[in-house]
Structure 1
Amino acid sequence: MNRKRTSLKTIRAFLIGAGLCLVLAGCRQGPPGRTIHLAHGLDVTHSVHLAMVRMGEDLERLSGGRLRMEIFPNQQLGSEREILELLQIGTLDMTKVSAATLENFAPKTRILGLPYLFRDREAAFEILDGPIGQELLDDGLEFWLKGLGFYDAGFRSFYAMDQPITHPDDLVGKKVRVMESVTAINMIRSMGGAPTPISWGELYTALQQGVVDAAENNPPSFYLARHYEVCKYYSLDEHTFSPDVLIAGTRFWDQLNEQEKAWIREAADNSIAYQRELWALAEAEALEKVAAAGVEISRPDKRPFAEGSREAYRLYEADTTLGRLIRQIKEFQQ
C-alpha cells in the first residue's frame, strides 16, 4: 500500500483517534510510569487475549511497575484495519491483527495467505520464528508498524450450511465469505467458489440469512462465534495457516529507551509461547464442542484442494521478492 493511497484512511483514522484520546487520557492518569494501550478485536475468552493479559502482568513485573498495559478487546476501538491506522498516527500503541489484514499494509505478508504453504504447524513456526519470519515482521516498518511476533491462529478450513465441502467441486457456485484479503479472494476463486468479503462481526447474520453459503476459519473461531449453530458441516481441509501478528506502532516504539524495548520484547515472547499452548487446548475443545452440538466434521483428501488452488500462486511467484520468499519456505520444508 503506497502512502498516497493511505492518506484518506489516515485522515479517517485521525478523526477516530481524536475521539479516542478522551477515552485514553483517563487511562494515563495514575501512578508514575508509562501505560501502553493495546487494542484487538477478539473476545476476552480467546487465547490471544489471555496471553496479552499475561504479557501485561509480565511487563509490569519486569519493569518494576514502570510499564503497564491497558487492553481494549472486542473491537472497542475499531476494526483491525482501523486499529492499524491508529497505530500509524500514534493514537494507539499496540495491537494484534490477522496476517490477512496486515497484508494490506505490509505487502510481503501476502504470502501467508497462500494455501498449503506450510507442511504442518511445527514447520510453520520454525520458519516464522526464524529469519524469514523476521523479514515479514520488518516489512511494515516503512508503514510505521513494527512486528513483534506471531501468535498461533491455526489452520483455516471450510464450513457450510447445506453440504460438506470435501472437494473443490463442492465450492463451485457457492458464495464463500472471505476476509478483506486479495490473497484469500484469489484462493477461493481459483477453487471455483465466489469469494464474498464480509466483516467478521456481520458473518453470523450473513450465514443465517443466506447472504453467503459457506465460510472458512479455524476451529476456535468457528466455535466461539457460534457459527456452528448455522453451519452443520465442517470440513478440515486446512487450506491456510495464517497466523495472528503482534504489532507495535513505530511512533510509540521509537519513544522507548533500549531497556523499555527489552522488557516489551521479553514480555511479548513469553506471551507468544503461552498463547501457543492455550491454542492447542482451545482447538481440541472447540472440535469436541461443535461435534457435540451436531456438526458433522470431515477430513477430506487435501490433494485436490492443493492442486485446485495452484492458480493462486502464479501472480506471487512471478514477483521477484514474493517468489524468493515462497521458494525459501518450500526449500526449508524439503
Structure 2
Amino acid sequence: MMTRKSILTLLLCTITFFGCGVDNETKTIRLGHGLDVSHSVHKAMVKMGEDLLERSGGRLKLEIYPSQQLGTERECLELLQIGSLDMTKVSVGVLENFAPKTRVLGLPFLFRDRQHSFNVLDGPIGQMLLNEGEKYWLKGLGYYDAGSRSFYTMNKPIEKPADLEGEKIRVMESVTAVNMVKALGGSPTPISWGELYTSLQQGVVDGAENNPPSFYLSRHYEVCKYYSLDEHTVLPDVLLIGTYVWNKLSQQEQMWLSQAVKESVKYQRILWAEAEAEALREVQKAGVVVSRPNKTLFAEKVQGIYESYKDDAEIYPLIKKIQETQ
C-alpha cells in the first residue's frame, strides 16, 4: 500500500516529469536516487552524464536528483513504472519486490568472493536478471558495486549468531533480508534508509547492516560503535530505466546510454574500492570497534534458507548456476 508521502511524490512528479523532457532538441533524462552526493555511485552517475552528453553531441542530457529528493527507492521504482521518472538506482534487495527472480542475489553467502560476484553479474546470469524487470516496466541497465553488507550495532559487537538474539536489526523492505536476520536469531525491522539515523538514536532498532561506505557516509558510526564484518551478503545496486522512457529512445540513443552506463560501472568500481578502504579507516578513527567474526558460524545458520528453495523450479536451479560459475 502506498503511503501519503508516496502519493504526494507521485502527484508532484507526474506534473514535473513526462518521460524524457525535450528542450531545444535535447532530451533530458531525469535520474532520482537516495544516496549522498559524496557516494561513489553518485560520482559515477555524474561521470555518466558527462559521458552521455559528449557521446550524443548534446542530444541527451542527464539530470540527477540525489538524497531521496524524489522519494525512497521503492517510490522511485513506482514512478518509473508509471513513466513519471526516467531512471533510478536501487539496491537489488528492494528490486526483488518488483522483479521476484532478483531475490536470488540477496541470499546470504551466495558468492565465494568479490570476483565471483563480478563474474556472475557481468555474465549471462546477471544480464538475464537485468532483463527480468521488463515485464514489470523496469529495464535494468547495469550493476554498481555495493560491496558486502555486515552488522553494526550500538550496545555490543556481533561476534556469533547468538549475539543477534533479542536485537532489533533494521533491514530493507526485502523478504530475503528479513528471513536472513530471523535465521540468525535477530528481530528484523524494515525501515527506510532516510529514517534510520533517527531510529537508531531513539532506540527503535539496536543496529542495522550495510557496507562500509554507507555506514560511514550516513554517519551511523556516531551512534553505532561496533561493526562486525561477517559480510553476509554481496548485494549490488541496480541502475534502471523505465521501459516507457527506454522505448521512446531511438536505437542510437539507447546505444549512447548503454555505453555511458558501461563506462560509469567501471569507474564506480574503482571509486568503490577506494571508498571502502577510506570508510573503514575513518570509522575506526571515530572510535568504532571493527571486528572480523568467523563467517562459517553465520553461514551454517542460514542453510535453512537454501533448503526452503529446493522446490522452487525457478530459483533453485539459478542458485546452482551461480554457485557453479567460475
Shorter-chain TM-score tier? over 0.9
Counterpart of 1:4 in structure 2 is none
Match of 2:24 among 24, 31, 34: 31
Counterpart of 2:48 in structure 1 is 55
Q: Is contact 1:176-1:194 (8 Å) kept?
A: yes
Q: Where does structure 1 lack aligned partners over 5 or more consecutive residues? A: 1-7
Task: Kindly provide the amino acid, as one letter, of the partner of residue 308 in structure 1.
Answer: K
Q: Is contact 1:13-1:86 (8 Å) kept?
A: no
Task: Kindly provide the amino acid, as one letter, of the partner of residue 166 in structure 2.
Answer: G
Counterpart of 1:157 in structure 2 is 150
Q: TM-score, normalised by structure 2?
A: 0.96
Are 1:193 and 2:186 an aligned pair?
yes
CA distance in 2 between partners of 1:10 and 1:204 (Å): 20
Q: Describe how 1:284-299 pairs up with structure 2 within 5 A.
A: 284-299=277-292
How many residues end up aligned between the 2 structures? 325
Q: Describe how 1:259-274 pairs up with structure 2 within 5 A.
A: 259-274=252-267
State the secondary structure of the residue aligned to 1:122. helix
Counterpart of 2:169 in structure 1 is 176
Match of 1:44 among 32, 37, 45: 37
Kindly tell me: are residues 306 and 81 of structure 1, through their superposed partners in 2, closer, same or farther at Cα, counting changes over 3 Å? same
Cα displacement (A) at 1:28: 3.9
CA distance in 2 between partners of 1:257 and 1:315 (Å): 44
Q: Is contact 1:14-1:89 (8 Å) kept?
A: no
CA distance in 2 between partners of 1:67 and 1:13 (Å): 28
Match of 1:203 among 196, 203, 213: 196
Cα displacement (A) at 1:165: 0.4
CA distance in 2 between partners of 1:12 and 1:201 (Å): 13
CA distance in 1 between partners of 2:291 and 2:15 (Å): 49
Q: TM-score, normalised by structure 1?
A: 0.93
Cα displacement (A) at 1:161: 1.1
Are 1:314 and 2:314 an aligned pair?
no
Cα displacement (A) at 1:197: 0.9
Match of 2:82 among 89, 98, 107: 89
Counterpart of 2:13 in structure 1 is 20
- CA RMSD of superposed structures (Å): 1.8
Task: Kindly provide the amino acid, as one letter, of the partner of residue 246 in structure 1.
Answer: L
Counterpart of 1:80 in structure 2 is 73
State the secondary structure of the residue aligned to 2:314. helix
Q: Is contact 1:178-1:184 (8 Å) kept?
A: yes
Are 1:101 and 2:94 an aligned pair?
yes
Task: Kindly provide the amino acid, as one letter, of the partner of residue 193 in structure 2.
Answer: W
CA distance in 2 between partners of 1:106 and 1:316 (Å): 17
Q: Describe how 1:107-126 pairs up with structure 2 within 5 A.
A: 107-126=100-119
Q: Is contact 2:6-2:71 (8 Å) kept?
A: no
CA distance in 1 between partners of 2:183 and 2:276 (Å): 28
CA distance in 2 between partners of 1:232 and 1:11 (Å): 35
Cα displacement (A) at 1:316: 2.5
Task: Kindly provide the amino acid, as one letter, of the partner of residue 125 in structure 1.
Answer: F
Q: Is contact 2:22-2:28 (8 Å) kept?
A: no
Q: Where does structure 2 lack aligned partners over 5 or more consecutive residues? A: none
Counterpart of 1:139 in structure 2 is 132
Kindly tell me: are residues 24 and 243 of structure 1, through their superposed partners in 2, closer, same or farther at Cα, counting changes over 3 Å? same
State the secondary structure of the residue aligned to 1:326. helix
Q: Is contact 1:58-1:267 (8 Å) kept?
A: yes
Report % sequence identity: 62
Match of 2:325 among 318, 326, 332: 332
Task: Kindly provide the amino acid, as one letter, of the partner of residue 156 in structure 2.
Answer: Q
Counterpart of 2:249 in structure 1 is 256
State the secondary structure of the residue aligned to 1:104. coil
Counterpart of 1:129 in structure 2 is 122
Kindly tell me: are residues 318 and 11 of structure 1, through their superposed partners in 2, closer, same or farther at Cα, counting changes over 3 Å? farther
CA distance in 1 between partners of 2:166 and 2:316 (Å): 31
Cα displacement (A) at 1:14: 7.3
Q: Is contact 1:111-1:316 (8 Å) kept?
A: no
Counterpart of 1:3 in structure 2 is none
Q: Is contact 1:9-1:85 (8 Å) kept?
A: no
CA distance in 2 between partners of 1:150 and 1:318 (Å): 29
Kindly tell me: are residues 289 and 168 of structure 1, through their superposed partners in 2, closer, same or farther at Cα, counting changes over 3 Å? same
Instruction: Show CA shifts across 1:95-132 (max 9, x none).
Output: 10000110000001111111000011111011100000
CA distance in 1 between partners of 2:263 and 2:173 (Å): 30
Cα displacement (A) at 1:152: 0.3
State the secondary structure of the residue aligned to 1:317. coil
Match of 2:294 among 294, 301, 305: 301
Match of 1:216 among 197, 209, 215: 209
Q: Is contact 2:106-2:176 (8 Å) kept?
A: yes
